A and B are shown apart, each in its own frame.
Chain A
Amino acid sequence: MKGLSILLLGFLLILTTVSLAQTGQIQLDVKKKTLSNGMRILVLENHAAPTFSAIIRFNTGSVDEHPGITGSSHLLEHMLFKGTKIIGTTNYEAEVPIMAKIDSLAHLLRAEQVKLLSPLNPQDSGRLKELKQEMANLQATEKKYVVKDELWDTYLKEGGTSLNASTSNDGTQYYVSLPRNCLELWAFFESDRLANLVLREFYSERDVVMEERRLTTENSPRRSLDEALSATVFWASPYCWSVVGWMSDLQTVMREDVEAYFRSHYSPANAVAVIVGDVDANQLFKICDKYFSKIPSQPAPPPVVTRDAPQKGERRTEIEYDANPMVYVGWPIPQIGHPDLPALEVAANILSDGRTSRFYKNIREKKLGSASASSDETRLPSAFTCTMTPFGQHTTAELEEAVYAEIDRLKTEKVSEWELEKVRNQKDASFIRSLESNRGLAFRISSSEAMTGDWRNFLDYREALKKVTADDIIRVVDKYLTKKNRSVAYIVKSTSNSPAKRAEKEIGR
């Protein structure tokens, strides 16, 4: 067995007790190659087990969408598992005319659905029903040629695990862990779905995504509150809608809209492939060159330029929901690369990481409730957020007050050297733990490479976190976490579903 291809330089020499300076000397032997079409391939060899983890990340997420097609990055994430001209079908040529019919019918259906949106239009629910039936018939015809979930099925048969894809505001990633001998299979499947994607079964998959929205957002109090907070913090920025998109857009977005979005945003130069595991870098580069270089290069997707104007006062949003109260607060902060971000992240860590954190000591141990803070690196200016859950009879107002008191303390008193050193040591230790997982490393490398153009930035950022001073924290907290800049979204319990309320409604009818 060969060792992990991670160089541990002189680490044995530094066994002192306090600072973990040695982790700064851990180097990741990542090799990078850019194909002729601009696609970047990064590899980190680790021969500990006969497996590898692979990820393809596109620098495309819900921020690249616009009203009318919100949710399309995520919808495409689903569609990329539906096959290509040669995968997932027994006869693509025979499918083409059926898909054309489905598309024109979908336009008629959409026209009816659009009518329903305005009271000025004449309504004809019979027509809608008729069209839906016709659509169901056509979809049944299409199914005759479909080989269900062939890529997924094949990966599983070959022993693939952790197979999935995920979409965020900032990016979309497709990942799988496979036995070592499946490298070429991976390159074939992944390149084929970029070169020859067919958006088959689009409209039934759109229904699946609507169910996903109901499950993960509408019927989850936390995610409903998340969505409300984003729409309160961001008025203009595309962070204002959630990754899954608005329901009305999901109901009306067309196959060709999503296909056009794919053509403009899923270019090879906008993609990063990262492989970590039991592979030979040179062989991997050869295989990737053979499969991915075939994809033609294309212009970069349009930049996202919309930004929010400076906030002019506190914003508050109340949600009535059949759940116990919670409150989320957000403050705008700058985007990735800004020098204030490391200090904001360290402030968040000091506030809420672990049992020695300030929120834990002063809010949870005082039995007011639980609270947590987070700050993130994102493609566009985003938000520093605090989420709070009151205990017992305590109110969201009390929790807010307690959290603001802790934030104010950060503006007036220097944090202790102990707290800073604790955060530094934790960053180092968690970095070393992250080296255990091929998959975890692949995620870190790919997001850094995709968002900043250089995978090494995540290492530099970690070093920057360790250089944050007590004065930096006073400065950034004072600058960003102000009353004027904050947005507050909170749940008040609606009792409309209680048996007594329902009885009332019954009587009222």
Chain B
Amino acid sequence: MKTIIFAMTLFLISAGVAFGQTETAKSPGSKIVESLTKEEISLTIPRVGVDVDRVALDNGLVIYLYENHKLPLFNIQTLIRCGSVYDASEKDGLSDLVGTVMRTGGTKTITGDSLSMLMEYIGGNLEANIGGEKGTVSLSVLSKDADLGLKLFVDLLRNPAFPQDKLDLAKIDIKNNIKRRNDSPGSIVNRYFYNMLYGDYPSGRVLEWASVKNITAQELADYHRRFFTPNNIMIGIYGDFSKTEILAKLRALLADWPQAITALPAPPEVEFKYHPGVYQIRKDLNQSSIMIGQLGIKRNNPDRYAVRLLNYILGGGSFTSRITSRVRSDEGLAYHASSNFNTDSRDYGVFDAECQTKSASTYTATSIIMEEINNIRNDGVTSEEFEGARNAVINSSVFLFDTPGKIINRLMSLEFDGLPPDFYNDYLNEFRRITLADIKSVAQKYLKPNQMTFVIVGNPDAFEKPLDEFGPVTNIELTEPVTE
């Protein structure tokens, strides 16, 4: 059993504080809750170089290792700097196809089908996926199969084949999704909302068959050659293995991979603009899907912590939050009513408030949401709400590092996202530094009710009142997606 010494130890807030001074009336049961004595829990934050090893190969490939023998599992997680932010508009869908076909198409020495047979036979998983700003390749096998798994993983990472038949198959899947994109209100409202806010920036694009159908196998291979270079990749390994042995094997398999010199272009920038207005998309439903919002902040914004608490109180803290409490619990107008404020995005993220309510309460639910947004800007929040939100964030931090997978992923992601390795040491203190007044100030700074975009999917004939008081109304007809 190894002993781990944690240099940085943070203590969580004990129960009493959470129920400190409050002006509102309390329940008899809350006194029992307060009377329960509780030991303090120290949060131990794993550190690079102590609990987790970091090794950089000469070719620039960075490896994180976390040896943990509790279960006979061997896992790899990989981060590759690539993604749809680099896709040209006329090649929309390229990154997604690379991720899919990389896995299904196999490598130059083993076909995708054989790879599937091997992995499924040993009960393992080997998957690849490319999202907005990163790609991932992951492996999970029993530790007795670690050598086989590692070889297949490296082969896939370095030598994917991108055969035409698997590309065609992946395109059929995308085509089917495009054809069905108007079947459910949730996918419609999201698509229009993000498109309104981001326009042709990759997060706002609507994937069309016209761009997908012309993507070639050669373009997939070129993409791989461009982005999958050792100095653009981080590998995290965790589970039941010997560190020294695995490092030797990794060096044997990866050290000869030549570094590429080309620097990546800067990704396109989001144009910060408001798009006020009400956009009604007609579909014959008995319930409206509503999204209201605007562009918000970038993750390097020092206000991100205050914004996170603001959103928790406004609509992000489930039942505890104002929008949920009023729209759902008080008025019974929705099952789901919430707000989200993305504070983790490299470029501008989105603030949105959303709910689904029967057609005849569309106006009412929308106005309650707007009332709450205006209230929090005008009056800020109570000290009870503020303490509650802060305690929830701080006390739940005990779950940040509760499994080996989370430990390796969080530490690797810090480096990948350009955040300092001691980010989490300061993380909780950031929340401790925020004051009640900060919440009101960020509400006023970042929530612009008069500039918001309203997207509603539903049947406007059945709304109890028109929505024109929220802005000029534009009606949008859904059209059959083109898949020829």
**Which A residues contact B (CB, under 8 angstroms)?**
1, 3-4, 8, 11, 15-17, 20, 22, 48-51, 81, 83-84, 86-90, 92, 143, 147-150, 152-154, 156-161, 177, 179-182, 184-185, 188, 192, 201, 203-212, 214-216, 218-221, 322-324, 353-356, 364-365, 367, 369-370, 389, 391-392, 418, 421-422, 425-430, 432-433, 435-437, 496-497, 499
Contacts and interface: CB of A to CB of B under 8 A. Distances in A.
Contacts of B39: 180-181
B159 interface: no
B172 interface: yes
A208 B172 contact: no
Contacts of A214: 286-287, 356, 358
Interface stretch (B77-85, B179-187, B191-199, B437-445): B179-187
Contacts of B104: 355
10 closest A-B pairs by CB: A159-B395, A429-B123, A207-B332, A49-B402, A212-B335, A323-B183, A204-B332, A86-B29, A149-B319, A87-B29
Given A181-B40, A391-B172, A391-B176, A157 B318 contact: no
B73 interface: yes
20 contacts: A1-B1, A1-B4, A3-B1, A51-B402, A83-B27, A88-B27, A147-B25, A150-B29, A152-B320, A208-B332, A211-B356, A216-B335, A219-B286, A354-B116, A355-B113, A389-B176, A392-B172, A392-B175, A429-B122, A430-B123
Interface residues of B, number: 85
A421 B124 CA distance: 13
A323 B188 CA distance: 12
Contacts of B29: 84, 86-88, 150, 192
A156 B388 contact: yes
Contacts of B1: 1, 3
Contacts of B169: 364-365, 367
Interface string B33-56: 100101111000000000000000
Given A87-B27, A148-B319, A208-B332, A50 B398 contact: yes
Interface in B313-340: 317-320, 325, 328-336
Nearest to A83: B27
Given A158-B18, A211-B356, A147 B176 contact: no
Contact of A51 (B28, B122, B357, B398): B398
Contacts of B388: 153, 156-157
B149 to A, nearest CB: 11
B366 interface: no
Contacts of B40: 181
Given A4-B71, A147-B25, A355-B120, A208 B328 contact: yes
A392 B176 contact: yes
Given A211-B332, A429-B141, 15 more contacts: A49-B403, A150-B30, A156-B388, A156-B392, A219-B285, A219-B356, A221-B183, A355-B113, A367-B169, A392-B175, A392-B483, A425-B121, A425-B122, A432-B71, A497-B282
Contact of A211 (B72, B284, B285, B358): B358
B245 interface: no
Contact of A156 (B33, B70, B320, B330): B320
Nearest to A182: B38
Contacts of A425: 121-123
Nearest to A365: B169
B215 interface: no
B144 interface: yes
A337 to B, nearest CB: 26
Given A3-B1, A432-B72, A497-B282, A188 B36 contact: yes
Nearest to B391: A157
A184 B116 contact: no
B224 to A, nearest CB: 20
Nearest to A421: B121
B299 to A, nearest CB: 22
A159 B286 contact: no
B142 A181 contact: no
Interface in B387-421: 388, 391-392, 394-399, 401-405
Contacts of A201: 329
B191 to A, nearest CB: 16
Contact of A219 (B112, B185, B317, B325): B185
Given A20-B142, A156-B392, A212-B335, A392 B320 contact: no
B308 interface: no
A17 B328 contact: no
Nearest to A360: B116
Nearest to B402: A49
Contacts of A205: 329, 332
Nearest to B458: A219
A17 B144 contact: yes
A13 to B, nearest CB: 11
A207 B104 CA distance: 46
A190 B236 CA distance: 40
B41 A496 contact: no
B462 interface: no
